[in-house]
């Protein structure tokens, strides 16, 4: 007689004590959900796999503290979203370091021929360099501002304003009311606008 499969609550209890087989059986039904959620944020297969591995390790580590107030899939999904956001920030920073944004091509003469950089007036070269620095500082300011948001607000902002999720989808995945999503989104926008306004007015940190 074959042994009946364990219920999810039983798997959680066993996995929380270090049973690797139970942990595998626990997360297996949700791997597609976890993977797709991370991939929607990162959009890159390799990064998604790395973030998923990080998330699974976090789930395994934090499982003894799971109190069952929400479904395991919802709890694990939130951890996956946070792992994806951390991976996204890391990827953006590395990309900006490896690929500095090129200067604009510069002016054209009256015949439409591009003027080579060596022939650009010195004042224009300085202006373009200054503009490049401004854009780089703005990106860094945005990154720092996002880091300053509470996790619950940052997730909503990224999913809604950066990833273009529908409010109802965000609410369903985060297991909160649509009104809560709108409130967090509004608060996130206010905080980010205030941070950027400080930057524009010269109060850069």
Among 66-70, 129-133, 180-184, where is mean pLDDT lowest? 129-133
Residue 69 has pLDDT above 80, yes or no: yes
pTM above 0.85, yes or no: no
Instruction: Calculate mean pLDDT across residues 131-150.
Output: 67
* pLDDT score, position 17: 93
CATH topology of domain 1-99: Rna Polymerase Sigma Factor; Chain: A (1.10.1740)
Domains 1-99 and 108-205 share a fold: no
CA distances from 172 to 93, 156, 162, 175, 184 (A): 30, 12, 18, 5, 15
The pLDDT tens digits for 94-137 are 555 555 444 444 444 444 444 444 444 444 444 544 454 456 66
Most confident of 52-66, 114-128, 139-153: 52-66
Closest-CA residue to 15 (of 61, 83, 67, 69):
61
Q: How is the chain split into domains, by residue range?
A: 1-99, 108-205
**Average pLDDT, integer, range 150-173:** 83
Q: What are phi and psi of 70, to 5 degrees?
A: -130, 170
How high is the pLDDT of residue 115? 43
- Does the domain at residues 108-205 carry the CATH identifier 1.10.10.10? yes
pLDDT bin (cut points 50, 70, 90) of residue 3 is: low
CB contact at 8 A, 156 and 188: yes
């Amino acid at each position: 007689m074959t042994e009946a499969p364990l219920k999810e609550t039983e798997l959680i209890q066993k996995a929380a004590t270090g049973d690797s087989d139970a942990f595998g059986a626990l997360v297996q039904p949700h791997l597609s959900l976890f993977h797709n959620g991370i991939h929607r944020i990162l959009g890159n297969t390799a990064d998604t796999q790395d973030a998923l591995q990080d998330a699974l390790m976090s789930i395994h580590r934090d499982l003894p503290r799971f109190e069952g107030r929400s479904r395991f899939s919802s709890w694990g999904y939130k951890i996956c979203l946070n792992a994806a956001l951390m991976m996204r920030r890391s990827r953006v920073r590395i990309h900006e370091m490896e690929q500095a944004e090129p200067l604009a091509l510069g002016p054209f003469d009256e015949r439409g021929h591009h003027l080579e950089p060596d022939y650009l007036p010195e004042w224009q070269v300085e202006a373009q360099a200054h503009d490049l620095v401004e854009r780089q500082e703005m990106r860094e300011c945005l990154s720092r501002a996002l880091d300053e948001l509470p996790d619950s607000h940052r997730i909503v902002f990224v999913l809604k304003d950066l990833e273009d999720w529908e409010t109802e989808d965000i609410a369903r995945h985060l297991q909160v009311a649509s009104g809560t999503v709108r409130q967090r989104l509004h608060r996130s926008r206010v905080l980010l606008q205030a941070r950027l306004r400080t930057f524009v007015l010269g109060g850069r940190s």
